[in-house]
Amino acid sequence: MAQMHIGNVKLDTPVFLAPMAGIADLPFRLLCRELGGVGLAGSELLNARAIVQGRDAICNKALPPLEDSPLSVQLYGALDDPLPEAAAWAVENGATIIDINMGCPIDKVCKKNGGSLLMKTPGKTATLAKQIIGACGDVPVTAKVRLGWGENELTAPEIAKRLEDVGIAAITVHGRTTSQKFSGNACLDGIAKVVEAVSIPVIGNGDIHSVESAMRMFDYTKCAGVMVGRHAMKEPWIFDDISRCLNGENANFRGRNAKIEVILRHLELILQYRSERAALHCITNRIALYGRTLGHIKPLKERVRLAKSADEIRDALEAWLTPEVSST
């Protein structure tokens, strides 16, 4: 069985669900876990100042039920934000790992001097990381970075080494620069240079969309784990497929019925943990992504997109289930 450790935390697989705002919410994390293969799931990225201020909408996103474990709670903020205090709160409330966001390229985060901007000040950022580690006791602290701000500022190996020196337990590297955002291709050479620079586990992230691309990430960069982000929205069973391959097993075949059942389960989890409004918003927006794995189902996608209730979505999906043919 492929396993790995981050600090004192043992993970069943080295395959991670990325922390993604508006995507990696509790229902989606539980869906991916149920399908199998998730060694560690990341929370949505959470504003440290909002946590310390006790804003329920943010704090509730960092309160995992028992079945949502192990969970890495990802925090973002600027150098002068209360990141250590927010990390201590998350630890007290069940976080398995604390992750510092140092790689988000989105203007909303960077304009608050968080995310990738922390990579521009390696020394001060390492000092902040040390303070966060001190606030977390025995709970490991990790960081997620990019290759650098731009092509002429590929600082990931330097900052990774500084972070290792102050006690960071693992580094996730997205193989693009901040200026690239999500354009172009992830650079495996850049991730490999970080692997060479440190002795702590490095998790490779970027353009993992299949078992083959995950294996290429492992083989080329020598990383300890892989993190799947946006592609999981289309195929939340990819974690199971990758983990099975790592263990020398074949991936499960999933026909159209099985995939529609996954969408139905996602719907039910959103209704259970959030609301019908959230379910409508999520499934009607994601049906196009799910649909790319289902073949020609334009009428189904249209019915789901036009649905006015969860019942209408459920009816539309169930109508596309093909009756099983008995072999007797």
User: Which residues neighbour 292 within 8 Å (Cβ) at sequence distance 6 or greater?
Assistant: 234
Backbone angles phi, psi at 178, to 5 degrees: -60, -40
Question: Which position has the higher pLDDT, 276 or 251?
Answer: 276
Q: Can you read off the two tokens belonging to residue 278? A: 């959230």
Catalytic residue among 59, 104, 245, 282: 104
Concatenating the DSSP letter of every residue in 277-299 gives HHHHHHHHHHHHHHHTTSSS-HH
* 180-208 mean pLDDT: 92
273: pLDDT strictly greater than 90: yes
Indicate the average pLDDT of the chain. 91
Q: Is 276 helix (H, G, I), strand (E, B) or coil?
A: helix
- pLDDT band at residue 110, thresholds of 50, 70 and 90? very low
- At 120 the pLDDT is 79
Asked if omega into 27 is within 30° of 0 (cis), the reply is no
Question: Which position has the higher pLDDT, 80 or 114?
Answer: 80
- At 122 the pLDDT is 85
Report the C-alpha gap between 187 and 177 in whole angstroms: 9
Q: Can you read off the two tokens belonging to residue 30? A: 């539980």
* 141-156 mean pLDDT: 87
116: pLDDT strictly greater than 70: no
Concatenating the DSSP letter of every residue in 93-140 gives TT-SEEEEEE----HHHHTTT-GGGGGG-HHHHHHHHHHHHHHSTTS-
CA atoms within 13 A on the CB side of 244: 14
Contact 41, 72 (CB under 8 A): yes
326: pLDDT strictly greater than 50: no
- At 80 the pLDDT is 86
* 245-250 mean pLDDT: 93
Q: Which of 2, 40, 47 is nearest to 21 (CA)?
A: 47
Report the C-alpha gap between 304 and 283 in whole angstroms: 8
Report the C-alpha gap between 133 and 168 in whole angstroms: 7
- At 119 the pLDDT is 76
59 catalytic per annotation: no
pTM for the model stands at: 0.93
Tell me the residue type at 79. L
182 phi-psi bin (left φ>0, alpha ψ -120 to 50, beta other): alpha
- pLDDT band at residue 325, thresholds of 50, 70 and 90? very low
Backbone angles phi, psi at 322, to 5 degrees: -90, 130
